[in-house]
Amino acid sequence: MKAVLQKSFGTADTLYLGEQSTPIPGPGQVLVRVITTSVNRPDIIQREGNYPPPKGDSEVLGLEVAGIIDEVGEGVDEWTPGDRVMGLVGGGAYAECA
């Protein structure tokens, strides 16, 4: 999938469009096809290297996401593929899927 990746910490000039493997939803998780995201202050601070992502979360920037569920992980029964959702994620919203 396509994702906005980062060469190094710094300004927006360090960002580029690249390829990354699509995440696989684990138990209790969903995979969202990203329709839109945002840029907020924590994204900028993380891009500058001053706000590391939580351990185990994506290193791709992006904390806010809106989109459509593509897949659901084991144990997810309140959401189904095709549902429209929005929310906060630990990272990864600057990609085609989060």
pTM: 0.89
The predicted pLDDT at position 26 comes to 95
The predicted pLDDT at position 32 comes to 98
Residues 18-54 have pLDDT tens digits of 999 999 999 999 999 999 999 999 999 999 999 888 8
Write down the residue that tokens 């945002």 correspond to: 38
Cα–Cα nearest to 73, from 65, 81, 62: 81
Contact between 94 and 61 under an 8 Å Cβ cutoff? The reply is yes
Contacts of 43 (CB under 8 A, 6+ apart): 61, 62, 63
Q: Percent of the chain having pLDDT more than 90? A: 90
Q: Is the pLDDT of residue 14 over 90?
A: yes
Q: Which domains does the chain have, with CATH numbers?
A: 2-88 (3.90.180.10)
